[in-house]
Structure 1
Amino acid sequence: MERQKMKSRVFKVASAQSWDSFVTQTSSVVVHFTASWCRPSVAMNPFFEELALTYKNILFLLVDVDEIKEVASKMEIKAMPTFVLMKEGSQVDKLVGANPLEIKKRIDEAFG
């Protein structure tokens, strides 16, 4: 039996304007700051998709730092991957590096 592909629950941010809209209209947000050339970032994408399916009450966003430099700069992103947890439009936690267990732990702590 072939496994059916599920629709992604991770939203790719396309512009600074859509960033503002996402983070101001949603109370709980987890953001994966990534770059297509960064292997650890790309390797985290399937795990990030799993998180989005697990935590249905949280919005999961993907921001390519090369495509939306002003958001990466505003959020002080210095390395990829970086994961930012936000509540009510404000950053509550930031994790630099590809550490799936730590990301899950921090999501549970911030939004649990």
Structure 2
Amino acid sequence: MTSTDGGVHNLQSMQEYNEALSKPGVMIIDCFATWCGPCKVIAPRVVDMSHSHPSARFYKIDVDELPELAQQLGVKAMPTFYVFKDGQKKGNVVGANENALKALVVKELGA
């Protein structure tokens, strides 16, 4: 698992995903593609969120590098964000909708 900016980490294998999912607490996954314009636009906002919500864990997966995980998650468009709490999927946001993502993160953190 490599760190990108600040509190966002790249998941590079199914094993890393499963390990991250097994940890307690709130986990956000940003499913992106390097060729996706909206993904590039929202990426700095996700980094900002990782700093403003340090109790949550933020991860990214490149759907072209981990197509089996993207398929397992049900990614149909990029970016898609998934929020998990204690290993259970709590919701998702399709598209670069910063406000919807913030609202879901805050809801699951109970803040």
Fold shared per TM-score above 0.5: yes
Larger radius of gyration: 1
* Unmatched runs of 5 consecutive residues or more in structure 2: none
Q: Are residue 57 (structure 1) and residue 55 (structure 2) matched?
A: yes
- 8 A Cα contact 1:26 1:59, kept in partner: no
Equivalent residue, structure 2, for 1:88: 86
Instruction: Pick the aligned partner of 2:74 from 76, 81, 85.
Output: 76
Query: Number of residue pairs matched?
Result: 106
Q: Could you list the runs of 4 or more consecutive aligned residues of structure 1 that deviate by over 2 angstroms after TM superposition?
A: none
The one-letter amino acid of 2:37's match is R
The one-letter amino acid of 1:69's match is P
Q: How does 1:13-52 map to 2 (within 5 A)?
A: 13-52=11-50
Return the offset for 1:26: 3.5
* Unmatched runs of 5 consecutive residues or more in structure 1: 1-6
Return the offset for 1:108: 1.1
Instruction: Pick the aligned partner of 2:8 from 7, 10, 25.
Output: 10
- Could you tell me the TM-score, scaled by structure 1's length? 0.90
- Could you tell me the TM-score, scaled by structure 2's length? 0.91
How far apart, in 2, do the equivalents of 1:27 and 1:109 lie? Answer: 13
Return the offset for 1:27: 2.0
RMSD after superposition: 1.0
How far apart, in 2, do the equivalents of 1:18 and 1:43 lie? Answer: 26
